[in-house]
Homo-oligomer: A and B are copies of this chain.
């Protein structure tokens, strides 16, 4: 019988989550039935979207939901064999047994490190790509503003926008991240912790903003609304600023009327038809070194709550993951 450890939510956080809101539980895994596989997770994806679910949606005393990338250890399913890479939404676990139909086989390019299938080649990359192309209707030559531009989604969005011929303005929260983003070729980078975003964005966008890829909401969104060009598009991927705190709210939404601005929330299933195009373009960019990425790795399932809190505090650069022993 195989054992696994997993993270459970035991208390709903009020504001920023604390480590004591979570526990590590050890469980015994069932034997494999026909059509099932045993998966060893290698990378847990740590995502901002987990935060609102802690308040509503995530059950208490149950495994914390989330995505992971792993390898098949044993299989009784004809579609999977030992060593296959798979992605699944089975939560914060070391190992698990699942029906093969709930596992997505990852056709990993052998020239790329496996972990990129958890971010640039995974959900983060696809959301960045589709959010700009399909939701933001970005066109070459436009002015694109990306918030949390050094984050896992933001850093890809920023680079995709550059590769597609746009001027890109990014915001981030530390000088190290500013330096990294400048090295990626962004046209302007704002450290919003050093200066009010409103003033900094006004200076950084002399040509206004045609597309705002929003990961933040709140003050960033207010500042962007002041700078949107006529018929501008705001693709809302996340609103991390609103997940933990009582909010003041966005006070200048009426700017969208005369600006005829379109604000649209989205999730990846809205543009699955772009997946093939995304996969092909992004693989090429990665192999050519045209897309750079960074990873922040915490080690061991027991550190997953710390990783989530660090993410919500903006302590990561690039994709936050927890690495599990293979």
A contacts, CB < 8 Å to B: 52, 217, 221-222, 236-239, 242-243, 247-251, 253-267, 270
Contacts and interface: CB of A to CB of B under 8 A. Distances in A.
A260 B251 CA distance: 21
Contact of A253 (B236, B237, B254): B236
Contacts of A267: 257-258, 260
B261 A264 contact: yes
B260 A265 contact: yes
Contact of A260 (B242, B254, B270): B270
A210 B158 CA distance: 33
A274 to B, nearest CB: 15
A260 B263 CA distance: 10
B243 A254 contact: yes
A264 B266 contact: no
Contacts of A222: 249
Instruction: Specify how many copies of this chain sit in the oligomer.
Output: 2
A231 to B, nearest CB: 8
Contacts of A259: 265
Nearest to A222: B249
A248 B249 CA distance: 6
B265 A236 contact: no
Nearest to A262: B264
Contacts of A262: 262-265
Given A247-B251, A249-B249, A236 B256 contact: yes
B242 A257 contact: no
A40 to B, nearest CB: 31
Nearest to A251: B249
Contacts of A250: 249-251, 253
Contacts of A255: 265
Given A221-B253, A239-B254, A262-B264, 16 more contacts: A52-B254, A217-B254, A236-B253, A238-B254, A238-B257, A247-B249, A248-B251, A249-B249, A249-B253, A250-B251, A255-B265, A257-B266, A262-B263, A262-B265, A263-B263, A263-B264
